[in-house]
């Protein structure tokens, strides 16, 4: 059974237009978040793409203990609430503990389970019990079929508002590989499938005390995923990635986003003419 999931004022899933999850990796400051969210929302509206703003209040899995993590949950949720109110879009953030899931669920529209935590049963249960949409990122260490176990954990808690996101598989040596077979496998569980085009080009720990990335490969991978058939795209976007405080090397520069999405949307239309 193919589920269509409500996010804010729109639906995602089979038969629906491709949607976009995008924003800076981490909340650096309120003004940058509001400005970036507003600009991405304008681009998404022009292209007819439903849009969910994404940014993290805490990056708990940074490579170095000295890396910037974000403003924390209290200030971060205040900023995300302001994005919802002033920009008028749904918002998503990732959560790392059961208490965070409960608290963030009072503000955001989508709770995201980080790839490294996708097998954490208690975290999945806490997220499911909020009743919010739960976007589970496939662990870099899992085969696509294993994600069925995460789906069952959420379903057993009575939550069928599920989205699954592919972000590449790790074979060590600071690299990730995207297997296009993953998309139809993940879709077989009956829920919308998203491609994380920016974390898939990350080079985890490739910068020694931080991750590196190859943003020049975001477009070809996103185009391939569009052709393979996905329901949405996740892209971390920043107005000045080279000076971003987290994940700069793999983020899409804001000024390049519109042209990238235009190409991706053309491929989606060709691959799914019924949409």
Q: What pLDDT, on a 0 to 100 scale, did the predictor assign at position 139?
A: 96
Q: Find out whether 117 and 141 touch, Cβ atoms under 8 Å.
A: no
Domain containing residue 156: CATH number? 3.20.20.70
Identify the domain containing residue 258 by its residue range.
5-271
Picking from 16, 26, 39, 90, the residue whose alpha carbon sits closest to that of residue 258 is 39
Chain mean position to CA 150: 17
User: In Å, how far are 44, 86, 103, 115, 275 from 229, measured between CA atoms?
Assistant: 19, 33, 34, 21, 11
Determine whether 219 is exposed, middle or buried from the number of CB atoms within 10 Å of its CB (0-12, 13-18, 19+).
middle
pLDDT digits (tens, 9 = 90+) for 52-73: 999 999 988 767 787 889 999 9
φ, ψ dihedrals at 87, nearest 5°: -90, -25
Buried residues in 146-179 as b, exposed as e (16+ CB within 10 A): ebeebbebbeebebebbbbbbbbbbeeeeebebe
**Into how many domains does the chain fold?**
1
Per-residue pLDDT at 209 exceeds 60: no
pTM score: 0.95
Per-residue pLDDT at 152 exceeds 90: yes
Quote the DSSP letter at residue 56.
B
Q: What pLDDT, on a 0 to 100 scale, did the predictor assign at position 208?
A: 60
pLDDT digits (tens, 9 = 90+) for 160-190: 999 999 999 998 788 899 999 999 999 999 9
Per-residue pLDDT at 130 exceeds 90: yes
Residue count (the chain):
275
Q: What pLDDT, on a 0 to 100 scale, did the predictor assign at position 273?
A: 62
């Amino acid at each position: 059974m193919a589920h269509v999931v409500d996010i804010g004022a729109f639906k995602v899933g089979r038969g629906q237009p491709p949607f976009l999850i995008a924003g800076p990796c981490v909340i650096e400051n309120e003004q940058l978040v509001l400005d970036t969210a507003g600009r991405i929302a304008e681009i998404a509206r022009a292209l007819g793409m439903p849009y969910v703003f994404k940014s993290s209040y805490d990056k708990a899995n940074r490579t170095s203990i000295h890396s910037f993590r974000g403003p924390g949950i209290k200030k971060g949720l205040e900023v995300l609430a302001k994005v919802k109110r002033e920009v008028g879009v749904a918002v998503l953030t990732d959560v790392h503990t059961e208490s965070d899931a409960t608290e963030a669920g009072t503000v955001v529209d989508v709770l995201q389970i980080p790839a490294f935590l996708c097998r954490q049963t208690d975290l999945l249960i806490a997220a499911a019990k909020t009743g919010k949409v739960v976007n589970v990122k496939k662990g870099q260490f899992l085969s696509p079929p294993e994600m069925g176990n995460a789906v069952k954990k959420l379903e057993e808690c009575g939550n069928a508002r599920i989205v699954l996101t592919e972000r590449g598989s790790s074979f060590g040596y600071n690299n990730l590989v995207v297997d296009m077979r993953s998309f139809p496998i993940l879709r077989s569980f009956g829920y919308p499938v998203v491609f994380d085009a920016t974390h898939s080009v990350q080079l985890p720990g490739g910068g020694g005390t931080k991750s590196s990335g190859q943003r020049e490969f975001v477009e070809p991978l996103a185009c391939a995923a569009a052709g393979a058939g996905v329901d949405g795209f996740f892209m971390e976007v920043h107005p000045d990635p080279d000076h971003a405080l987290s994940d700069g090397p793999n983020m899409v520069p804001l000024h390049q986003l519109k042209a990238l999405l235009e190409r991706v949307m053309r491929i989606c239309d060709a691959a799914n003419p019924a949409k």
